Chain A
């Protein structure tokens, strides 16, 4: 058997021969024991090679650290992949962000209040949210980065991230507090807030336990509704005492008992919270993704009915968001369709905590539709959408959207 013939056998094994040659080789192998043996040997070697372990083991922790090492290099270089310069804060890809930013002490007070009110229920209920992570929101690392860049390394629990800077107390406090209980602060009596302000400022940062970071690292895409006792799908951390209302999904069965608990204990909450704050018991793990809309809480008597009214709409928004976030468009038409689906989402869920995220996704889908080679109309629609977003007072990613606008605007 010549080298040429064996080379053909090799290519035959890889199914790389043209059809006519393949047929000829097949016929030959059937009648030639030598070639059949050579072919079988090649196949056996390939299979064995495929099963070979790596020549050496990567050092322990290597794969946990590599993503953040690369991130540090990318940020140090400061160059983006496309025409957009990357910045770590260019985007908050995770949970819908807060609309109103309050000082850290306010969130700490809110945490104390919630702790006092809800702690008795903590160990009784804990269930996940009935919704999947959004494409990016579900990613642990991006979540950690987006919410609190310096709080913790965006790595699985128990791992280290050497390239991520150590947590800065002030930022950690702010990040943690932001995630704790937005929406509750305004519900705290002014007196209580004033009394615990200094204390909370002192305690908020250092008292955020390591578990808090891991809580931040996996925020729920769905988050967040501070108006009600919405749940975050952060599993209960031993010793961290996540309040029941945060650990429980706002399901049909759970929403009402949660409201009941609040109604029954609401009167005692401020005092209890105050007492706890004085004792330095404000620390609870921040629960990411609870940062939507700070409002005056309704009277206790109205809470139950309000919860009932809004519950179904929220569940529907959760589902719709998850459904759209899972879309995998590939063509211009599909990106265009997704853009319009996000537009409908925004129309159908006006007060949704996903509003900001849905705006961005609609704009991005429009950008991709244009980028994939869409007609001039795509550029017009994208530009119109982007400008509408920029005109929104509550828009939080203006710079990012402006950068998306630039290449489209430059194209004739």
Chain B
């Protein structure tokens, strides 16, 4: 019993009633995830820090609307994603034209990739994610990394579900193109295998 962590429902109930200490513990539990969401979208520690703090401040002010018993993590991550996208919204961050070769299926390369993308491919992928328009990147991060549903992403970013679907597809197209040389048969086989 000594290992049993403090109950989050009680922490949230107390935080909602004004217990700053309880909320501080909530922050401690979720800060890495919130910071991670923000950082993957804004790609800068300074901005991610601002976003993380603002996220928790807004969560604190909005606790009244949070339904106890529901998972807090996705809720606060949606706040973080929304703020992160707002931070990076700029003319440059808006969606640009589709990349060259749009509409083409990435051709499987003869270069065997092995079971996972190697370090070089990961570096390329990281750069490709960074190069995505911020709004596409946000959708992609929330889906691929945070595993949010389209509806949750739509709520977080104030979009229609159809827009989420479209942006996500475009992001994947761009990433696939960037990684084209690395998407060898092995990776594709792996992808098929995990589908089953």
Residues of A within 8 A of B (CB): 1-3, 6-7, 10-11, 14, 16, 34, 36-52, 54-56, 58-59, 62-63, 66-71, 73-75, 77, 79-88, 90-91, 93, 128-139, 141-143, 145-146, 154, 233, 322, 325-331, 364, 367-368, 372, 400, 403-404
Contacts and interface: CB of A to CB of B under 8 A. Distances in A.
Main secondary structure of the interface of B (DSSP, over half): helix
A368 B6 contact: no
Contacts of A368: 13, 68
Nearest to A155: B28
Contacts of A86: 18-20
A328 B1 CA distance: 16
A41 B40 contact: no
Contact of B19 (A48, A91, A233, A330): A91
A80 B1 CA distance: 33
Interface string B146-183: 00011000000000000001101100110110010001
A49 B21 contact: no
Contacts of A49: 125, 129, 140-141, 144-145, 175
B43 interface: yes
Contacts of B14: 91, 93, 136, 364
Contact of A70 (B22, B24, B190): B24
A131 B5 CA distance: 12
Nearest to A220: B2
Contacts of B183: 41, 44-45
Given A11-B165, A55-B130, A82-B17, A40 B60 contact: no
Interface of B: 1-7, 9-11, 13-25, 27-28, 31-32, 35-36, 39-40, 43-45, 49, 52-53, 56-57, 60-64, 68-69, 102-103, 105-106, 108, 116-117, 121-122, 125-126, 129-130, 140-141, 143-145, 149-150, 165-166, 168-169, 172-173, 175-176, 179, 183, 187-192, 194-195
Contact of A42 (B13, B172, B189): B172
A131 B16 CA distance: 27
A34 B105 contact: yes
Given A37-B105, A67-B27, A67-B31, 10 more contacts: A39-B192, A45-B183, A48-B116, A54-B40, A91-B22, A136-B10, A136-B22, A138-B5, A330-B68, A331-B69
14 contacts: A11-B169, A41-B108, A43-B195, A45-B179, A49-B144, A62-B35, A63-B31, A66-B52, A67-B28, A70-B24, A91-B21, A93-B21, A134-B6, A154-B24
Contacts of A143: 21
Contacts of B6: 133-139
A63 B15 CA distance: 20
B105 A38 contact: yes
